[in-house]
């Protein structure tokens, strides 16, 4: 039987059967799934799994199918990749202008954490936005990212966002307190818990603590727990440039140029001329640097077999 994972807490999964439409509580056979050694958890919300029911509402999962897309982050503590959402058509990266403040560096990393999905940037709390926020996001629309301005207070942009996600599955990701769950509630009428913003730190309180798949009217959303920090998952360095569409492909002297100013790399000149934004380039370089020394725990501890 095939299942779609809809909630995951401590390796107990709530999943909808794609065959009989019922909801099952699932466990996974074994702790680590083959091919997923690099991951914090063998399955994520949005994953399609194969398994067998052993009662009317319980099943055992023995395989998780390959993903077409994912939003992953590096779990610094466990030193593994952590999948926040899987198989979404769109990664909706939600930011807010002031509480918490918009951080372009964070946004750049979040874009790089998404693979295989379309990206939409949502500036929520548009009711609090100043010119700076609009200015910052103009850069991203200029790069070809779709940017939607929303406010759950004034209702601005909600219909635009709704039409953008219609017929699709979207993962709402971003910092804690930007208003992901509020948007999800506005869009689906569901009753996700909403948190307030800590006055002392001007950031959210991690109100949503696990990813959850929610069905709306003609679309679905994976609401995800907000994070304070985000690091790009362990992956091929070449893949990072996919998150930076402004970087030239195949124009530097050497194939597979990482654009760190190698011989024959044209990027530093493009930055100097202002054709590539210097801050974006700095984000890119920082991500490459961070990834270079990064190795998942399971790889580091493994003994070399010569």
| CA neighbor of 138 nearest in space, from 125, 123, 159, 153 | 123
Residue choice 178, 265, 276, 287 for contact with Zn ion (CB under 5 A): 265
d(CA 269, CA 179): 39
In angstroms, give the least distance from the CB of 168 to ligand GTP. Answer: 20
Give the DSSP H/E element, type plus range, for residue 280. Answer: helix 278-292
Phi, psi of 282, deg, nearest 5: -60, -40
In angstroms, give the least distance from the CB of 163 to Mg ion. Answer: 23
Give the DSSP H/E element, type plus range, for residue 139. Answer: helix 131-142
Regarding 208 and contact with Mg ion (CB under 5 A), the answer is yes
Report 177-216 residues binding ligand GTP (CB under 6 A).
177-182, 194-197, 204-208
Strand order in the sheet with 80-86: 80-86, 70-75, 114-115
Using the structure block, give the residue that is written with the tokens 């083959």: 34
Give the DSSP H/E element, type plus range, for residue 62. Answer: strand 58-64
Cβ nearer to Mg ion, comparing 152 with 181:
181
Residue choice 89, 128, 160, 242 for contact with ligand GTP (CB under 6 A): 128
Residue 303 CB neighbour total at 10 angstroms: 5
Report 3-42 residues binding Zn ion (CB under 5 A).
none
In angstroms, give the least distance from the CB of 171 to ligand GTP. Answer: 13
Q: Cα dist. 25→5, 81, 245, 251, 301 in Å? A: 10, 24, 41, 51, 33
In angstroms, give the least distance from the CB of 273 to Mg ion. Answer: 42
Regarding 211 and contact with Mg ion (CB under 5 A), the answer is no
Residue choice 113, 169, 257, 291 for contact with Zn ion (CB under 5 A): 257
Two structure tokens written together for 294? 């990064």
Residue choice 127, 160, 242, 262 for contact with ligand GTP (CB under 6 A): 127
Give the DSSP H/E element, type plus range, for residue 288. Answer: helix 278-292
Cβ nearer to ligand GTP, comparing 207 with 260:
207
Binding partner at 265 among Mg ion, ligand GTP, Zn ion, none, C-beta below 5 to 8 Å by kind = Zn ion
Binding partner at 232 among ligand GTP, Mg ion, Zn ion, none, C-beta below 5 to 8 Å by kind = none
Two structure tokens written together for 128? 């609090």
The whole-angstrom distance between residue 63's C-alpha and the CA centroid of its chain comes to: 23
Binding partner at 182 among Zn ion, ligand GTP, Mg ion, none, C-beta below 5 to 8 Å by kind = ligand GTP
The contact pattern for ligand GTP, residues 146-165, with x = CB under 6 A and - = no contact, is -----xxx------------
Phi/psi-derived region of residue 139, left when phi > 0, alpha when psi is between -120 and 50, beta in every other case: alpha
Regarding 181 and contact with Mg ion (CB under 5 A), the answer is yes
Regarding 252 and contact with Zn ion (CB under 5 A), the answer is yes
Cβ nearer to ligand GTP, comparing 14 with 151:
151
| CA neighbor of 68 nearest in space, from 39, 92, 89 | 89
In angstroms, give the least distance from the CB of 190 to Mg ion. Answer: 12
Binding site for ligand GTP (CB under 6 A): 124-125, 127-128, 151-153, 176-182, 194-197, 204-208, 225-226
Binding site for Zn ion (CB under 5 A): 252, 257, 259, 265, 267
């Amino acid at each position: 039987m095939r299942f779609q994972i809809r909630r995951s807490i401590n390796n107990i999964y709530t999943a909808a059967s794609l065959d009989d439409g019922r909801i099952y509580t699932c466990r996974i056979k074994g702790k680590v799934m083959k091919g997923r050694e690099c991951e914090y958890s063998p399955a994520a919300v949005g994953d399609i799994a194969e398994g067998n029911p052993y009662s009317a509402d319980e099943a055992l999962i023995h395989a998780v199918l390959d993903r077409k897309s994912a939003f992953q982050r590096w779990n610094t503590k466990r030193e593994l990749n952590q999948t926040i959402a899987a198989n979404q058509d769109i990664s909706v990266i939600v930011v807010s202008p002031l509480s918490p403040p918009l951080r372009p560096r964070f946004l750049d990393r979040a874009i790089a954490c998404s693979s295989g999905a379309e990206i939409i940037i949502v500036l929520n709390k548009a009711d609090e936005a100043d010119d700076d926020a609009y200015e910052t996001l103009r850069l991203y629309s200029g790069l070809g990212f779709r940017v939607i301005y929303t406010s759950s207070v004034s209702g601005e942009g909600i219909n635009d966002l709704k039409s953008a996600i219609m017929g699709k599955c979207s993962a709402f990701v971003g910092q804690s307190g930007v208003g992901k769950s509020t948007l999800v509630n506005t869009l689906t009428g569901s009753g996700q818990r909403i948190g307030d913003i800590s006055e002392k730190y001007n950031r959210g309180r991690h109100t949503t603590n696990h990813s959850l798949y929610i069905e709306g009217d003609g679309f679905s959303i994976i609401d995800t727990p907000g994070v304070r920090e985000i690091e790009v998952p362990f992956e091929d360095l070449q893949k990072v440039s996919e998150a930076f569409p402004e970087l030239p492909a195949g124009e530097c002297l050497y194939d597979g140029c990482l654009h760190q100013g190698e011989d024959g790399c044209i990027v530093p000149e493009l930055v100097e001329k202002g054709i590539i934004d210097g801050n974006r380039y700095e984000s890119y370089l920082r991500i490459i640097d961070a990834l270079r020394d990064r190795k998942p725990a399971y790889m580091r501890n493994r003994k070399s077999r010569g």
